[in-house]
Amino acid sequence: MFVPFKSLDCTVFLEDVPILVQVTEVERFTYTRVLNPNLYTIELSHGTFTWKIKRRFKHFQTLHQELLKFKALLKIPLPSRIPNIFLVTCPTGQFIFISFLKSEGFIQKKSGGNTFPVCYWCGSNSVCYRWSKRWLVVKDSFVLYMRPEDGQVGTVILYDKGFHIKIGTQETGVRHGVTIENLCRALTIKCSTYRQARWWGHSIDDFAQRFGQDFLRENRHGSFAPVRENTTAQWFVNAAGYFDAIADALEGAKEEIFITAWWLSPEIFLKRPVVDGNTWRLDHVLKRKAQGVKICVLLYKEVEVILGLNSEYTKKTLMGLHSNIMVIRHPDHVPSTALLWAHHEKSVVIDQSLAFLGGIDLAYGRWDDYQHRLTDVGSVRRSPQPSPALSPSLTREQGENSVSLTLPISKPHTASSEEKSRRSSEFSNCLLRLLMYFQSLHSFQHADRTLNESYSQNIFFCFRVLFFFCIADTSSLRSHISSTELCGETRFWHGKDYCNFILKDWVKLNKPFDDFIDRYKTPRMPWHDIGVAVHGKAARDIARHFIQRWNFTKLVKKRSGATGYPCLMPKSLSAPSELPEMRGKHTQANVQVLRSVCQWSIGTKVHEESIHLAYISAIQNSKHFIYIENQFFISCADKTIHNSIGDALTERILRAYRCGRMVYVVMPLLPGFEGDISSGGGQAIKAIMYFNYRTMCRGDYSIIERLKCVNCWINYISFCGLRTHADLDGRLVTELIYVHSKLMIVDDCTVIIGSANINDRSMLGKRDSEMAVVVEDSVFQDSLMDGEIYQAGRFAWSLRVECFRLVLGLIGDYSVDISDPISDRFYKEIWMVTAARNASVYDKVFRCLPTDAVQNYKILREYMSRSCMATEDPIQACAELRKVRGFLVQFPFYFLSEENLFPSLNSKEGIMPMELWT
């Protein structure tokens, strides 16, 4: 943090540490400096810091005069006689203070230099500009300037592969000028002499070359960041563990928190079930931390008529919590050219030392665990999780050995017939809690004789509660929630968090705890996703990306309130970072941060598509298998599609299919847009289905069409989705599990996790902004590959096994060997058989969609007109459903195959640009 130069809080030098001064070189310029020819190079040492300055004889004369003046001032009893102030307020400070960091000092700065015009009158920086006195600071990974009078940082210029220095009138257009330029902006400074300009230029360039090589050189995949070795990394399957880890990390933040989001819901709970009141609600956590931590949030500003994310409500809610919470939305769609594109990245950075990213937004509907529940109508007490501060209104003070039992109480009345079907399960839950309560009281009562007197009273109270459940309206157990507070509920999904977005999109997000679908009639849609946490330098790189976005967005929104926000600065890569204690499965690996960015999203003149290039490289270099989970699968390049991930997969299979190479693809059975698929689906659903099927199996460019030259292509590539079922209020129901992951695992050694979908929007770099990491294992363990001993990476292997066990229903079941992903026994007898059997059972029991049995709309109408086994014969349906194991189902290649799924031109989706869907 910078402070004004004349501030009393400005401490320039270390206490009780001398400054050693030595003249190391004298240069004579007799032709240009007849009266003052000598130029002295002075080396100064202060503790562990050493720096050099150049001064002429006249500067020593000025210093001598100022010292005499200061000596005289010391004899006058003024309140400002503080030694440290002398070094700053008088020219002596300017005489010696060029920096511990090689280059630092006063400069004259020219306005402008952005990649977009800043003059509203003429639109040209070359005509309208001004010169301002600023203090220039050169650090190990960036250059900044600041206003001396108040210490406010004006601009931070990050080192990147376009960073370079121009010197002289011809190159800069300014007499004695120096231009510092990177891919995002240019800073021109004016010096008094050419020698001074040359010294500034060479000093900055020399310092950048010595300390900034990580960002100046061309990194692998064209990324802005290099590979970071020995990085601590941890994966998360589904949001339960991911949210839990983020909650702990936020609670441990000491300096700053950076959050990027496509969508953010302030009222979501990070730890569930909710037994600590609002303690772990996101807005409450941020408000608690904002007391001493700076919190910066970057939100995607949606086109409101298309997306109902209500980011304006999110911004107002967060900024209303505390002045230390700063929120910027971007882009402004008018006059921006980014009308079709989005900031799709999702990340949380803590103190620039720990970073979380992946496909999981801190938003409604995302929290899920390995069970992928369809229902949430009960209210079961669980053991409370550790919390920093329980709300006094939710608990009451009790003795050391007492046990709390909190139940809703309402006046008894006669239950309706609909409620009786739910009473038995709630009754049993209550009875179980009462039994646990009796056991705890029994264990305490003979440990302390003073409890004997209250023991009978407690029993009487419990039987009164039991009687209440026998006669009372069980709906009193449902949510007792106001629009702003939530107290005592132990459901997993509250209000808008309980959702089925294909059935109905979110509405009225400003009323977070109001249900918008009937949870007693409609199952929720489970959410399957992947996240990752990285530490150290990789986390610094993710923070650097955030800082670049923040500073750019702050600049382009100069007419809004964002101009009052501070510029952010990266921490030094050499600075020590205190790593929080990691819980769960983590390991050391080599990590590289990847991204998709361009001019509209981050201000760079050269777009970056390092995620796309990393996918292609990993696929081309694969030797055994590839496992992909992704929300979309739109690829195979032609005149419409430009990313080549599908082409790389096809070529890899054709090149080595005889050696048993396998490709696994898991994706959603239906795109995540609102629409009734039973009547053909909404236009948006059909548009994405069109391009997904075009990539997989329909048309000359599709993967399967190009693999037909291979004997039995199904032995080499598998496309699957996820589905589950449950009992909802006495009815059997089923729903697809929405696969939102952005994951690829290659050969149990390489993993790519991020926010990027397999489509042009995410991969090309010129459209949506995205973030990802490629994790390459450096710690290995014995495994199997095609029946032979294989050294598998610990990070990749453990994540692949977790994903396989989850989708195959093998969590906790180690009787089935899944260590060899390309053996015929696993692929054919476990993976393919499980997927085929599950899909067959679901079709038989529920007649669910999508299905291969429906090829056109006529068959669809007939198919949906018949009742299913789950309705006609629930007992037989339950017997059939016992055959289901896990969630894996085969993807239906022939669903509506006889229809043209591309939106018709008379629909609003049909007249949209093709790039919107791809």
Instruction: Give the torsion sign (CA, 159, 161, 163, 165).
Output: positive
DSSP secondary structure code for residue 904 in this structure: P
Q: Under the phi-then-psi rule, with left for phi > 0, alpha for psi from -120 to 50, and beta for the rest, what region is 351? A: left
Q: Which two tokens stand for residue 889?
A: 């189902």
Q: Which residues are CB-neighbours of 429 under 8 A, at least 6 positions away?
A: 378, 379, 380
Given a contact cutoff of 8 angstroms between Cβ atoms, the answer to whether 792 and 749 are in contact is: yes
CA nearest to 634, candidates 576, 692, 698: 692
What pLDDT was estimated at residue 658?
66
| Predicted local confidence at residue 486, as pLDDT | 43
Low-confidence ranges of the chain (pLDDT < 50): 79-92, 97-102, 117-124, 380-387, 389-489
- Using CA atoms, how far apart are residues 86 and 80, in angstroms rounded to an integer? 9
Phi, psi of 545 (to 5 degrees): -60, -45
pLDDT reported for residue 18? 87
Place of tokens 């009266």: 35
User: CA-CA distance, 256 to 250, in Å (whole number)?
Assistant: 9
Contact between 205 and 564 (Cβ < 8 Å): no
CA 13 to chain centre: 40
**Phi-psi label, residue 365: left if phi above 0, alpha if psi -120 to 50, beta otherwise:** left
Listed in sequence order, the residues at least 6 apart from 232 whose beta carbon sits closer than 8 Å to its beta carbon are 534, 535, 536, 579, 582, 586, 587, 588
H or E stretch covering 358 = strand 354-358
State the CB neighbour count (10 A cutoff) for residue 873. 14
Angle at 886 between CA 270 and CA 239, to 5 degrees: 15
Tokens of 882: 């016992």
Q: What is the pLDDT of residue 432?
A: 42
Provide the H-helix boundaries in 446-578.
Answer: 452-471, 536-556
Alpha carbon 593 to chain centroid, angstroms: 12
Which distant-in-sequence residues (6+ apart) come within 8 Å of 495 by Cβ? 267, 479, 481, 511, 512, 513, 514, 515, 516
Angle subtended by helix axes 833-846 and 874-881, to nearest 10: 170
Q: Is 271 helix (H, G, I), strand (E, B) or coil?
A: coil
Tokens of 592: 């590289």
Please state the length of the chain.
Answer: 918
Q: Which of 149, 145, 9 is nearest to 85 (CA)?
A: 9
Report the amino acid identity of residue 783.
Answer: S
Q: Which residue matches tokens 């090689």?
A: 102
Q: 702-740 burial, b if ≥16 CB within 10 A, otherwise e? A: bbbbbbeebeebeebbbbbbbbbbbebeeebbbbbbbbb
- Two structure tokens written together for 112: 């402008």
Q: Which of 41, 196, 230, 195 is nearest to 105 (CA)?
A: 196
| Separation between Cα atoms, residue 627 and residue 803, nearest integer Å | 10
3-state helix, strand, coil in the chain (%, to 5): 30, 20, 45
Residue partners of 314: CB distance under 8 A and separation at least 6: 263, 264, 265, 266, 299, 327
| Residue 912 amino acid letter | M
Which pLDDT does position 577 carry in this prediction?
62
Interior angle at CA 501, CA 358 and CA 631, nearest 5: 35
Smallest CA-to-CA distance from 296 within 600, 564, 598, 578 is with 564
pLDDT of amino acid 116: 53
Quote the pLDDT of residue 538: 96
pLDDT of residue 585: 77
- Residue 229's alpha-carbon distances to 357, 592, 774, 791, 811, in angstroms, are 19, 9, 12, 19, 32
CA 315, 318, 321, 322 torsion-angle sign? negative
Type of residue numbered 534: V
Residue 896 DSSP code = T
CB atoms within 10 A of CB 211: 20
- Give the pLDDT score at 68: 84
